[in-house]
């Protein structure tokens, strides 16, 4: 009965009357929804449909069912799973360091002892708005084994040069240096915004009650800042698997696919090998893994004590 009342002709006429009455508002906001439908929602549906087909970009599609997904768990999926492994390695190599440095810089800038903190904040944030492609090529020049700025400095102090981009682990270190340089300011601003929402009266009350500054920081500031830290870590987790500009500009995924990330692998599968069905299957497998990993982070690191 309630549904019949809701769907009554008078209700539908009233709804249509409201739409006509506010037609100009709907017209002005319609470009966003039309563009989202064309460039966002429909491509997602098409990629889901494409993941069950074999297609090279031209010609008819061939339905293959779950073959593109099962292919990932065979020999053909070796590069994809190596890219997942690389993402995990890169996560543990740079995310803890970058999160710690971002927190330390945010605490320093948030203290009353620092003057002109806006200027320092802008300087630290500046690499984030710099073109990562240009930064990657610049880092590549500085990290060259022969003639690079880094190795020239090492030779000046009597140390041998390092194969920054030729060795597997040094290439990962080089990539992490570029990522920390480019994203440290962004994470610092997030931490700084979280710190500025914490009332200073809480810390001052703890200090009056006899707590030290270190105790107040770890027992008041850190617990209140936990959602912000979790947000930063989750973004960094997705970024570890989704690195693209940094990899393409600095290492290209080498050496021996040591810095190959999932997005670079999917891009190569689609636009280098023209296997759009397999690339779509890899993309949705990647989405499922990131979704599960994010849920685990919320479950075990985002709960309240």
Question: Is the pLDDT reported for residue 239 higher than 90?
Answer: no
CA 218 to chain centre: 27
Number of C-beta neighbours around residue 173 at 10 A:
15
Q: What is the mean pLDDT of residues 203-218?
A: 81
Across the chain, what does the average pLDDT equal?
86
pTM (2 d.p.)? 0.82
Of the ranges 11-15, 141-145, 223-227, 248-252, which one carries the lowest mean pLDDT score? 11-15
Question: Is the pLDDT reported for residue 14 higher than 90?
Answer: no
Q: What is the mean pLDDT of residues 32-40?
A: 90
- Measured CA to CA in angstroms, residue 244 lies from 104, 129, 185, 289 at distances of 28, 16, 19, 18
What pLDDT digit, counting tens, does each position of 57-116 carry? 888 899 998 899 998 888 778 899 999 999 999 999 999 999 999 999 998 888 777 777
> What pLDDT band is residue 9 in, cutting at 50, 70 and 90?
low
Q: What is the mean pLDDT of residues 289-305?
A: 75
Distance, CA of 19 to CA of 290 (rounded, Å):
40
Q: What is the mean pLDDT of residues 212-240?
A: 86
Quote the Cα angle for 70-74-80, to 5°: 90
What are 62's strand-pairing partners? 54
What pLDDT digit, counting tens, does each position of 105-150 carry? 998 888 777 777 788 888 888 999 888 999 999 999 999 888 888 9
Question: Is the pLDDT reported for residue 6 higher than 70?
Answer: no
Nearest C-alpha neighbor of 83 from the set 264, 283, 251, 233: 264
- Residues near 154 by beta carbon (within 8 Å), at least 6 away in sequence: 160, 161, 162
Distance, CA of 90 to CA of 266 (rounded, Å):
18
pLDDT at 182: 92
Domains and their CATH numbers in the chain: 2-50 (no CATH), 70-301 (1.10.3720.10)
> What pLDDT band is residue 237 in, cutting at 50, 70 and 90?
confident
Q: What is the mean pLDDT of residues 253-266?
A: 90
> What pLDDT band is residue 51 in, cutting at 50, 70 and 90?
very high
pLDDT greater at residue 188 or residue 13:
188
Percent of the chain residues past pLDDT 70, beyond the cut: 94
Question: Is the pLDDT reported for residue 1 higher than 50?
Answer: no
SS (HEC) of the chain = CHHHHHCCHHHHHHHHHHHHHCHHHHHHHHHHHHHHHHHHHHHHHHHHHHCCEECCCCCCCEECCCHHHHHHCCHHHHHHHHHHHHHHHHHHHHHHHHHHHHHHHHHHHHCCCCCCHHHHHHHHHHHHHCCHHHHHHHHHHHCCCCCCHHHHHHHHCCCCCCCCCCCHHHHHHHHHHHHHHHHHHHHHHHHHHHHHCCCHHHHHHHHHCCCCHHHHHHHHHHHHHHHHHHHHHHHHHHHHHCCCHHHHHHCCCCCCCCCCCHHHHHHHHHHCCCCHHHHHHHHHHHHHHHHHHHHHHHHHHCCCC
């Amino acid at each position: 009965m309630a549904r019949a009342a809701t769907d009554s002709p008078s209700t539908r006429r009233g709804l249509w009357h409201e739409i006509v009455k506010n037609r100009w508002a709907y017209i002005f906001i319609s470009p966003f929804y039309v563009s989202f439908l064309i460039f966002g929602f429909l491509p997602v549906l098409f990629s889901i449909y494409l993941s069950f087909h074999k297609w090279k970009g031209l010609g008819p599609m061939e339905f293959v069912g779950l073959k593109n997904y099962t292919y990932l768990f065979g020999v053909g999926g070796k590069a994809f799973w190596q890219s997942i492994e690389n993402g995990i390695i890169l996560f543990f190599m740079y995310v803890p360091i970058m999160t710690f440095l971002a927190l330390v810089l945010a605490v320093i800038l948030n203290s009353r002892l620092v003057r002109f903190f806006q200027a320092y904040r802008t300087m630290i944030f500046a690499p984030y708005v710099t073109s990562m492609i240009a930064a990657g090529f610049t880092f590549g020049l500085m990290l060259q084994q022969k003639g690079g700025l880094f190795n020239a400095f090492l030779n000046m102090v009597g140390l041998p040069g390092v194969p920054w981009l030729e060795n597997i682990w040094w290439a990962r270190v080089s990539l992490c240096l570029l990522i920390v340089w480019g994203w440290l300011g962004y994470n610092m601003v997030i931490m700084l915004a979280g710190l500025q929402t914490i009332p200073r009266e809480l810390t001052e009350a703890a200090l009056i009650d006899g707590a030290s500054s270190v105790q107040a920081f770890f027992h008041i500031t850190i617990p209140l800042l936990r959602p912000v830290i979790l947000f930063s870590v989750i973004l960094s987790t997705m970024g570890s698997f989704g690195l693209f500009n940094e990899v393409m500009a600095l290492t290209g995924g080498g050496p021996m696919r040591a810095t190959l990330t999932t997005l670079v692998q999917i891009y190569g599968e689609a636009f280098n090998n023209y296997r759009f069905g397999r690339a779509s299957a890899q993309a949705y497998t990647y989405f499922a893994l990131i979704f599960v990993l994010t849920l685990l982070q919320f479950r075990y690191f985002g709960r309240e004590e």
